Amino acid sequence: MCGIIGIVGRSSVQERLIDSLKRLEYRGYDSAGVAGVVDGHVQRRRAAGKIKALEDVLAADPLNATVGIGHTRWATHGGPSTKNAHPHTQGRVTLVHNGIIENYAELREMLKADGRTFESETDTEVIAGLIDSELASGKDPVAALKAALDQLSGAYAIGVLIDGEDELVMGARKGSPLVVGYGEGEMFIGSDALAVGPFTNRIAYLEEGDYVAIDHDKARIFDANGKPVKREMRTVAASAALVEKGNYRHFMEKEIHDQPEGCQRTIAAYVDTLAERAAIPGGVDFAALERIQIVACGTSYIAGLLGKYLIEQLADLPVDVEIASEFRYRDPALKPGTLAIGMSQSGETADTLAALRLCEAKGMTTAAVVNAQESTMAREVDVVWPIHCGPEIGVASTKAFTAQISVLTALAVAAARARGQIDAAEEQRLVRVLLGAPRLIAESINLEDAVKAVAVEIAKARDVLFLGRGPMYPLALEGALKLKEISYIHAEGYAAGELKHGPIALVDEKTPIVILAPFDSYFEKSASNMSEVMARGGQVVFITDPEGQQHAPAGARVVVTAPQSDPLIAPLVMAAPIQLLAYYVAVQKGADVDQPRNLAKSVTVE
């Protein structure tokens, strides 16, 4: 979950390390550090807190190095303190690490028995200790690295500096991604293409178990058995401009506003606009499928749930959706004829990746709906269905969510047609509706001022309930998740029909209840729930559309009226108000919108 960068440069690396760490901050941000070779010796600078704190340390005590490594941390072993911040040093070895070393306690005892002492509570320091011990036994740096890696179990990506080696950075990966960047007389390693994006777009992805040594001109890559290997160099698009905030205050605000374009680009990739047909790349025969199994975490899981509503209703194809961390450990009954789909913005989420590998091992066809097209998931599955919303930086997912839903909607239409559930004319109608979604999403985002006013009230609440029926139920879950994530207000999303089975006990004058109810086939039932809540003094925020507004029972405290839309795209159109609500509540509370406490954008540990 942490971010790594390593540079063998020709000029000073301090600013470049920081620049890269800022791009990697989405992977964790509770402490940061850099190290560099100065006059043949490795020096470190570290700080608890955000990268700004590290910048202050460096301003007072610059690192005059042309070779260095950097790290931004999301704590697993040991709290977020300077002492636990990476890089960690043992003897001649200084390194940064992303992942978890499962046998670290055992290794630590072993190294302690050899007379080593440890400065931190991390699992990382043992890797440095192991490499240093191997160096002390006379091995060269690359052989020492390999010997140390052979003793580790767990997941890692690492970047290593050796005291006395002023033209060497080493790296290794197993379970966590690492890329090699090729510059002009300079070489890089990094957690992803974004990390090395400002320096080069020529990149090679290390494979599971690979390790590497870079100098100014080349990368020597070895596989897990120590055999020298070549990994294909590709040119990737990780343009620096894509990750600027522009005129927005926060990335999340920008990304909410990016949604019409992100969905438009995504939809365009999944429909044939001329023929007005759904066109899903990858050659999956939806007519032959017996079932779809979706696995995902967080917001991607909620997008998957929406997929179930859409695909089952339109295509009469059974869809199971499961949280990846549950699925992977519970011995699910997996049958041939099932297509496994992983939903993941990052394409690196450890549990989703493992769930897909399980499906693969059981002989199922695997697909992934991902944003990061160069991610591990994208490279491992049989079929990649990319979303095209651009890099998402805000920890709370927004534009990736609606882009994922866009793909699943197109997929539902394609499956419906393939399975004879709709005819060509209906397919055309649905595709036209889908193509109209970006415009309506834009209109929905224009509700910003109305939502801002509601947010002032919600910011005072201790608990908030989100209710919805049908596809609005997953959206209610997403509304609650967004609010929890960035404003730290306790929120629950419920199927409105479950109201009487528990949550109604929470209803009082102090608990705002957000009801999501466009004028669809569920509307009357949702309106009854609204009356039940109001009869008990509940303060309702009713998010509906113009028809729903006309038919709503009187008495809702606030009505937010999103544009009228076909039910097919209602989830896309209704998403913006709940995202904006969470955003403005967090802003109102002065919370750190883009980097909420304890969370990370890419969860590469289970």
Question: Which residue ranges make up the site for ligand G6P (CB under 6 A)?
Answer: 297-300, 344-346, 349, 352, 395-397, 599, 601-603
Which CB, 92 or 601, lies closer to ligand G6P? 601
> Considering beta carbons, is residue 2 or 148 the nearer one to ligand G6P?
2
Catalytic residue among 174, 254, 308, 601: 601
Smallest distance from ligand G6P to CB 453, Å: 26
601 labelled catalytic: yes
Residue number with CB closer to ligand G6P (395 or 483): 395
Positive/negative CA dihedral, 254, 256, 260, 264: positive
Task: Retrieve residue 116's tokens.
Answer: 């080593």
CA–centroid distance for 307 within its chain: 18
Residue 336 and residue 435 in contact, taking contact as beta carbons nearer than 8 Å: no
We find the least distance from the C-beta atom of residue 349 to ligand G6P, in angstroms, to be: 3
Residue closer to ligand G6P by CB (options 7, 396) is 396
- Catalytic residue (choose from 2, 263, 297, 389): 2
CB of 177 to ligand G6P, least distance (A): 12
The nearest distance, CB 548 to ligand G6P, in angstroms, is: 28
Min CB(354)–ligand G6P separation in Å = 12
Strands (E), 202-313: 202-205, 211-214, 219-222, 228-229, 233-235, 271-272, 277-278, 291-296
What is the Cα–Cα distance from 152 to 320, expressed in whole angstroms?
36
Q: What are phi and psi of 119, to 5 degrees?
A: -95, -30
- Distances 41 to 38, 109, 605 between C-alpha atoms, Å: 5, 28, 32
Whole-angstrom Cα distance, residue 124 to residue 98?
9
Q: Tokens standing for 74?
A: 């999301």
Nearer to ligand G6P, 2 or 540 (CB): 2
Q: Is the separation of the CB atoms in 231 and 207 below 8 Å?
A: yes
Shortest CB 343 distance to ligand G6P, Å: 7
Alpha-carbon span 125 to 104, nearest angstrom: 9
Quote the DSSP letter at residue 25: G
Task: Output 9 or 175, the one with its CB closest to ligand G6P.
Answer: 175
Q: Which is nearer to ligand G6P, 87 or 386 (CB)?
A: 386
Biggest CA-to-CA distance, the chain = 81
Strand 512-516's sheet: what is its strand order?
490-495, 463-468, 512-516, 539-544, 558-561
Listed residue (302, 432, 433, 404) closest to 346, CA to CA: 404
Strand ranges in 487-526 using DSSP code E only, listed in sequence order? 490-495, 512-516
User: In the annotation, is 359 catalytic?
Assistant: no
Report in angstroms how near the CB of residue 595 gets to ligand G6P at its nearest: 10
Q: Are strands 179-182 and 202-205 parallel, antiparallel or unpaired?
A: antiparallel
CB atoms within 10 A of CB 524: 13
- The residues carrying an active-site annotation are 2, 601
